[in-house]
Amino acid sequence: MKSRREFLKEAATGAMLLGTASAAERLALASSQAGKSKVVIARDASLHGTSAQPDEQKVLNLLDKAMAAYTGRQKPVEAWKSIIPAHILAGQTIGLKVNGLGGRGIATHPALTLAVAERLQQAGVKPGNIVVWDQNAHFLQACGMTINTDPSRIRSYPADSAGFDDQESSWGVAKIRLTRILTHDCAMVINLPILKDHEIAGVTFSMKNMYGVVDKPFLLHANGCNPGVADLNSIPAIREKVWFTIGDAISSVYDGGPTFHPERLWYPNALMVGEDRVALDYTAWGMIDRQRAAVGMPSLEAVERKPNYIATAADAAHRLGTCDPSRIRLVEV
């Protein structure tokens, strides 16, 4: 395993390409090239119009806008090809990990899931090599997905029906079994969480969405999910396969989460894109706290729900990303 210094040296000489590096290497390389971890927030205030569900074409357009801002490639297919390694595009399976725990009122929007699947296919991924999944069938249905295992179409099936590894994966306090969708079916997983307040963890977004890949997520909720979230995301299969997030901040709950509370619903009308899961969660925390302040509510820290797992994930033991705002390059479009 090369040292970070060696990675930086190769980055400077152009000897390493993002598409061939591991997740940890990609993060180190991206940081070295730009000096900061890049997080893109793309917004469109007109997403919903007069409908409860966002306009599908506008969601697709917003996805293109976010990907263009993140990659610097204006053509959607070229943007996706610059993110997904060529050997995966050529014939391996990509998972889309959605989140339907909160029910239909606060789940990953099907318009976003389908937009990502459409662009992946245009970039060369066969329909049957795309798997949409979550923890169980109920959560998938809340995300507007129908169970389907037809290899000629986009597939959708839950983690619990696919089964879990026979042996535990372990990192710190995380001693759990991972779904075979992650460990066996998929070469890469794109994380599609939904932005929410969380009554225990404070914030649930990029890293907390990984609780849907394990057999017993309730074992990782102690102490505000700290260090549970950070330890879980440090397990190699998650660290290496789930390195790109397209976060659904189209609608959100700023209190009472992770379940749906319509009186606490608000519409950021945004997508959040990035590879640094810690920087994404730190940014998400700020968004929720600003909304709470806007409606006269105290901060998460003031109500003793500060998401401490974010700093833990950034520490020297975990090195999953950064929560230092001076090292985050926030791009809003």
What pLDDT is recorded for position 233? 98
Please compute, for residue 58, the number of CA atoms within 13 A of its CA located in the half-sphere on the CB side.
15
* CA max distance for the chain: 54
What pLDDT is recorded for position 19? 47
- DSSP class of residue 17? -
Residue with tokens 């409908």: 51
What pLDDT is recorded for position 5? 38
The pLDDT tens digits for 251-303 are 999 999 999 999 999 999 999 999 999 999 999 999 999 999 999 999 999 99
Residue 69 CA: distances (Å) to CA of 64, 168, 332: 9, 39, 9
**pLDDT band at residue 14, thresholds of 50, 70 and 90?**
very low
The pLDDT tens digits for 83-120 are 999 999 999 999 999 999 999 999 999 999 999 999 99
Beta-strand (E) ranges in the chain? Answer: 37-43, 94-97, 130-133, 155-156, 169-171, 174-176, 188-191, 194-198, 202-204, 244-253, 265-266, 270-274, 328-332
User: Whole-model pTM?
Assistant: 0.91
What pLDDT is recorded for position 131? 98
What pLDDT is recorded for position 167? 97
What pLDDT is recorded for position 53? 86
Query: Where in the chain are the domains?
Result: 1-35, 39-332
Q: What integer is the mean pLDDT of 123-137?
A: 97
What pLDDT is recorded for position 48? 81
User: Residue 249: is its pLDDT beyond 70?
Assistant: yes
CATH value of 39-332 in 3.30.365.10, 3.20.20.70, 3.40.50.720, 3.40.50.11440:
3.40.50.11440
Please state, in angstroms and rounded to a whole number, the distance separating the CA atoms of residues 248 and 111.
10
